[in-house]
Amino acid sequence: MKKELIFDLKSPYRNNFQIYAFRFGNGRPSAAIVGAMRGDEAQQQFICSQVVKNLIGIEQRGLIREGHEILVIPSANHFSMNINTRFWAMDNTDGNRMFPGYDKGETTQRIAAALFEAVKGYQFGIQLASFYLHGDFIPHVRVLDTGYQDMEAAKTFGMPYVLLRDPVSFDTTLLNYNWQIFGTQAYSVYSGYTDAVNKRSAKLSWKAILRFLHKNKIITYHIHDGYNPAIVNEKDLYSVTSTRGGILYQRRWAGDDVKRGDLIAKILDPYDGSTLSEITAPVSGELFFSHQKPLVSQNTLIYRIAEYS
In this prediction, residue 208 carries a pLDDT of 97
Name the residue among 81, 11, 69, 76 with its Cα closest to residue 40.
Answer: 81
- Close Cβ partners of 253 (under 8 Å, ≥ 6 residues apart): 136, 287, 290
Dihedrals phi, psi of 47, to nearest 5 degrees: -60, -45
Domains and CATH numbers, the chain: 2-233 (3.40.630.10), 237-307 (2.40.50.100)
Q: How confident is the model at residue 22, as a pLDDT?
A: 98
> What is the sign of the dihedral through the CA atoms of 135, 40, 131 and 242?
positive
What distance in Å separates the CA atoms of residue 208 and residue 229, rounded to the nearest whole number?
A: 12
Residue type at position 305: I
Strands of the sheet containing 2-9, edge to edge, are 2-9, 17-25, 67-75, 27-36, 124-128, 185-190, 140-144, 161-165, 230-233
Residue pair 89/11 in contact by the 8 Å Cβ criterion: no
Q: Is-cis flag, bond preceding 100, omega within 30?
A: yes
Residues 6+ apart with CB under 8 A from 82: 39
Scored b (16 or more CB within 10 A) or e, 184-218 reads bbbbbbbbbbbbeebeebbebbbbbbbbbbbbbeb
Are 36 and 76 spatial neighbours (Cβ–Cβ below 8 Å)?
Answer: yes
Report the alpha-carbon distance of residue 141 to residue 188 in Å, rounded. Answer: 6
Gap between the Cα atoms of 296 and 241, Å rounded: 10
pLDDT of residue 87: 87
- The amino acid occupying position 151 is M
- How large is the C-alpha radius of gyration of the chain? 20
Distance, CA of 273 to CA of 275 (rounded, Å): 7
* Sites in the chain below the pLDDT cut of 50: none
Q: Are 178 and 99 in contact (CB under 8 A)?
A: yes
Question: Which candidate, 71, 65, 63, places its Cα nearest to that of 1?
Answer: 71
